[in-house]
Amino acid sequence: MATRRLPLSAVLVATALALVAAVGTSALLDRGNAGGDDGASGDVPTEGYEMTPAGELPASVAAVRLTSLDGGPDAALGDLFTGTPVVVNFFASWCAPCIDEMPAFEAVHQSLGGRVTFLGMANRDTPDDARATMAATGITYPAFGDPDTSALTYFGGLAMPTTVFIGPDGVVRDVHSGALTEEALRGKLTELFGVTA
C-alpha cells in the first residue's frame, strides 16, 4: 500500500498549532498558581511587591500593575486587597457592551456596602476617555488604566468587557469574558464568594 505524504506547509501548520497549544496550556497553569511555584501558600503579598515594567507579565496577581488615570503614581493590585473579594472589570470607551454593563456594576457595588471591592480597568483608553466613560456611566468605585493590555493579558481575557473575580486570598476564582447583567453579576458573587448581593 502506498503511503501518502503531507505537503510541507500542512506539517508546519500542524507543528505551529501544537506549539501554541502547549505554550497556552503552560501559561494558564502558571497563572492559576497564585501562591508560587509549589502552590502551597496562596497568600497575597500586599507590600514588598516588585513593580513590573509595561508589557511584562507580573509574578503574581498582587503585582498586576494599575496605571493611574489622574497623573498620580501607579499602584499594584495587591494594594487593594483588604480581606474582601475583589472584582476587576475591564472596560473601554470604545466598547459598547462595556458601557451597557457598567451601571449594573455600580448598582451592585452600592448595594454591597464594602463587602466586595470593585475596581475598573480601562483597557487601551486614554485617561480622559476613561474618566469620561466613568462619569457617563456613574461609576464611583476606583478605576485605573491598562494601556498596554498587560493586565488583561495576564488574566487571559478574551473579549471586552472582561471581569475577573478574585478571592480575598488573591486566588482568581473566575475570568468572565463578555457582558454581565446585574442579575448575572449578583449570581456570580453568590456562587464564587457566598456573598448575597
DSSP for residue 49: -
Q: How many Å apart are CA 166 and CA 169, to the nearest integer?
A: 8
Find where cell 442579575 sits: 183
- Give the tens place of pLDDT for each residue, 77-119: 998 888 999 999 999 999 999 999 999 999 999 999 899 999 9
Report the percentage of the chain scoring pLDDT > 70: 70
Of 5-9, 39-43, 87-91, the range with the highest mean pLDDT is 87-91
Assign domain 61-193 to a CATH class. Answer: alpha beta
Domain ranges of the chain: 7-42, 61-193
- Give the tens place of pLDDT for each residue, 136-195: 999 999 999 999 999 999 999 989 999 999 999 889 999 999 999 999 999 999 999 999
Query: Which pLDDT belongs to residue 37?
Result: 32
Residues with Cβ < 8 Å from 9, sequence gap 6 or more? none
Query: Which pLDDT belongs to residue 158?
Result: 87
pTM for this prediction: 0.71
